[in-house]
Structure 1
């Protein structure tokens, strides 16, 4: 225990040789440890494949252009009835895992909300291959270590899917959205690892109906510095750091904080809003 937060063991996935999850048991929610350097070290340590686990194949070159997807399909899972909406049981969510221990808490929440999450490593498949194999109705870019340009195919996925598929980036995924559309990411004014902040937002999109401000957990040393015209800053922390961006014309949103944290009480409602967002044209 640290600062009243409980550290729960992360779920243990079994990875196929193609870099996709074959089994995921158990799913646990609430990975939080509010001790800056220790938390950051723990995240980095759990972000690499376990010894003996086959690594994913190299990421293929991805041509430009958007991905055209068939209708999503697949059965849903049981979830939080109070937040679920009709039709979510057919929402397949492709979760691009940036080798991070927090990914499967996002997966847990998405499953509880009635979606069908499918997890692949960030360098396992090209966007075109993933689109053909999984036909997702939503895309989530997970947290992870390092900088967005080092996050496997994250930026390629955002550019390829973002025109038609509602996309949510979390932490590193948020920074990858900023980079994908021409913004810059640099050192945050002060590193925040396992720290809770008040988040003030515009009340639209994924923030519709949420408390304003609400508290959220932050784990980041980098932050969005400049934004392109296509992106709007729609949430900030009390220290003035951009905590969310939204594309002005596409169904793409990034959040710097962690909605999957047990210390982000509005996190599941935010994800429910994301699942309900309409697709792009």
Structure 2
């Protein structure tokens, strides 16, 4: 099972539904849930930190990003929380994104395996990661956001600023499937 920490974003249920379409069991839980509560459930194989409107209300997400041994994917605000937890900088975007944008994948990697080097994604945010922590690398960027996706250099921790769970994002299902594979789920190809 994948747990989705609910940070109050408008697409939280879309994340759960997208995983359901992949036949991956998922459950939405409050962002006040502790890492200890999560790892006490042996069925949980991965964690998604959802988007949301307010970084100050994302209760336990930074602690989970720092201390989880389970794979973690941050989407939108979740991406920002991961970066902030490890010492990155998050601030107001130069240009707010509420539209389809072109994403450029820097090089083939496990999160974007099977995804072309350019694809269209849905963005909906006012803040963005400005500087990544030293232990992360940039996986993808757009013309208006230089850090659209990151990956921890040693752990299975990923972040995407855009929304792979919405239908406007090409290959969003592939990106989510790739994360689920990191969590130990297998798929017929």
1:261 paired residue number: 166
Residue correspondence of structure 1 range 83-98 to structure 2 within 5 A: 92-98=1-7
2:131 paired residue number: 226
Q: Over residues 64-119 of structure 1, what are the superposed CA-to-partner deviations in whole Å (9 max), with x where a residue is unaligned? A: xxxxxxxxxxxxxxxxxxxxxxxxxxxx1011111223111010111111211021
1:131 aligns with 2:39: yes
Q: Answer yes or no: is the 8 Å Cα contact 1:223–1:241 preserved in 2.
A: no
Counterparts in 2 of 1:134 and 1:100: CA distance versus 1, 3 Å: farther
Q: CA deviation at 1:278?
A: 5.8
SS of equivalent residue, structure 1 residue 271: helix
Higher relative contact order (CA 8 A, sep 6+): 2
Q: Answer yes or no: is the 8 Å Cα contact 2:7–2:57 preserved in 1.
A: no
Q: Answer yes or no: is the 8 Å Cα contact 2:122–2:162 preserved in 1.
A: yes
Q: Answer yes or no: is the 8 Å Cα contact 2:73–2:157 preserved in 1.
A: yes
1:208 aligns with 2:117: no
**Whole-angstrom CA distance in 2 between matches of 1:132 and 1:278:** 16
Unaligned runs of 5+ in 2: 185-189
Alignment length, in residue pairs?
A: 183
Based on CA coordinates, which of the two structures has the bigger radius of gyration? 1
Q: CA deviation at 1:150?
A: 3.0
**Whole-angstrom CA distance in 2 between matches of 1:245 and 1:109:** 21
Q: Answer yes or no: is the 8 Å Cα contact 2:88–2:130 preserved in 1.
A: yes
Counterparts in 2 of 1:198 and 1:226: CA distance versus 1, 3 Å: same
- Give the TM-score normalised by the residue count of structure 2: 0.92
1:106 aligns with 2:15: yes
- Larger relative strand fraction: 2
Residue correspondence of structure 1 range 26-175 to structure 2 within 5 A: 92-123=1-32, 125-133=33-41, 135-147=43-55, 149-161=56-68, 164-175=69-80
Q: CA deviation at 1:247?
A: 0.3
Q: CA deviation at 1:134?
A: 5.6
**Whole-angstrom CA distance in 2 between matches of 1:266 and 1:203:** 14
Unaligned runs of 5+ in 1: 1-91
Instruction: Give the superposed CA RMSD.
Output: 1.4
SS of equivalent residue, structure 1 residue 95: strand
**Whole-angstrom CA distance in 1 between matches of 2:26 and 2:183:** 18
- Give the TM-score normalised by the residue count of structure 1: 0.63
